[in-house]
């Protein structure tokens, strides 16, 4: 598969090896993929298949052993740390499993922090809207320690939405949330890609979460082995679950089955 060169996030034969010698692990074993502008893509696969590594390499938080990543039109190869930080601040937002909130700051201060760091003026009305949309309108002055895990994750999601960056990376963003809140958050992410043309890459193990995406890519042993892609219709949770079941079955060696 060749990349067209226009997508906001492109991986070209990305390999990532952790460790050396006999203990070395090929976390990514040659991934070439384009995350097209305005698409919401879910990345799925068994535990240890390289999902987080893919996300970290794509976001410039980790460096591939070989291969190249283009982020917002720039090759990350050889980019120094300062330029990389600036590139990320300008174009990228993150939602991680660990929320990475600043304990001393309030909800609102946490939400606007990336913009403050990037020297941008927050759009106050929009910030208020996203905080309300994630259900924290009553808690803008609370600090993270005064919030539940689900509420803290919603702060992290509001923070990612508030800056209206071109690209959002999310690693299991709904993992810590109850079903209702999870569906609200997924709807927000989907709206963000639909309405603002944001490119979203979300790692999840949940077929229902993946069904909110436009595309679902499946990783096994550090390789993309299949993809579900629908035009106007989102991949259904059933189709995603069926694909996962097939991949899991395919992974069993004859001695295991």
- Smaller CB distance to ligand ADP: residue 50 or 144? 50
The reply to whether 73 sits near ligand ADP by the rule CB under 6 A is no
The reply to whether 52 sits near Mg ion by the rule CB under 5 A is yes
The reply to whether 27 sits near ligand ADP by the rule CB under 6 A is yes
3-state SS assignment for residue 155 = helix
Of Mg ion, ligand ADP, none, which one sits near residue 126, judging by CB under 5 to 8 A according to partner kind?
A: none
* CB of 111 vs Mg ion, minimal distance in Å: 25
* Letter string b/e over residues 62-92, b meaning 16 or more CB atoms within 10 A of that residue's CB: bebeebbbbbbeeebeebeeeebeebbbebb
* CB of 194 vs ligand ADP, minimal distance in Å: 27
The reply to whether 173 sits near ligand ADP by the rule CB under 6 A is no
Which pairing describes strands 74-75 and 9-18: parallel, antiparallel, or unpaired?
unpaired
Burial class (CB in 10 A: 0-12, 13-18, 19+), 20: exposed
The reply to whether 51 sits near ligand ADP by the rule CB under 6 A is yes
The reply to whether 39 sits near Mg ion by the rule CB under 5 A is no
* CB of 185 vs ligand ADP, minimal distance in Å: 20
3-state SS assignment for residue 63 = coil
Of ligand ADP, Mg ion, none, which one sits near residue 48, judging by CB under 5 to 8 A according to partner kind?
A: ligand ADP
The reply to whether 52 sits near ligand ADP by the rule CB under 6 A is yes
With a CB cutoff of 8 Å and minimum separation 6, the contacts of 215 are 39, 40, 41, 42, 227, 228, 229, 230, 235
By the criterion CB under 6 A, which residues form the site for ligand ADP? 18-19, 25, 27, 45, 47-53
């Amino acid at each position: 598969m060749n990349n067209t060169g226009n997508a906001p996030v492109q991986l070209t034969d990305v390999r990532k090896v952790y460790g050396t010698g006999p203990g070395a692990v090929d976390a990514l074993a040659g991934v070439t993929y384009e995350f097209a502008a305005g698409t919401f893509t879910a990345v799925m696969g068994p535990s240890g298949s390289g999902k987080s590594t893919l996300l970290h390499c794509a976001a410039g938080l980790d460096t591939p052993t070989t291969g190249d990543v283009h982020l917002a039109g720039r090759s990350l190869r050889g980019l120094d740390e300062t330029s990389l930080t600036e590139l990320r601040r300008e174009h990228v937002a993150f939602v991680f499993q660990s929320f990475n909130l600043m304990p001393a700051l309030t909800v609102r201060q946490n939400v606007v922090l990336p913009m403050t760091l990037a020297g941008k003026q927050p759009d106050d009305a929009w910030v208020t809207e996203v905080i309300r949309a994630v259900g924290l309108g009553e808690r803008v002055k609370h600090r993270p320690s005064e919030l539940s895990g689900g509420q803290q994750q919603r702060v992290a999601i509001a923070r990612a939405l508030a800056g209206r960056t071109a690209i959002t990376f999310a690693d299991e963003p709904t993992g810590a949330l109850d079903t209702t809140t999870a569906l609200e958050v997924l709807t927000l992410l989907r709206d963000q890609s639909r309405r603002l043309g944001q490119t979203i890459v979300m790692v999840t193990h949940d077929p229902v979460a993946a069904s909110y995406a436009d595309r679902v890519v499946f990783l096994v042993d550090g390789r993309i082995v299949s993809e579900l892609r629908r035009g106007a219709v989102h991949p259904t949770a059933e189709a995603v679950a069926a694909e996962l079941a097939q991949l899991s079955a395919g992974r069993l060696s004859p001695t295991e089955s």
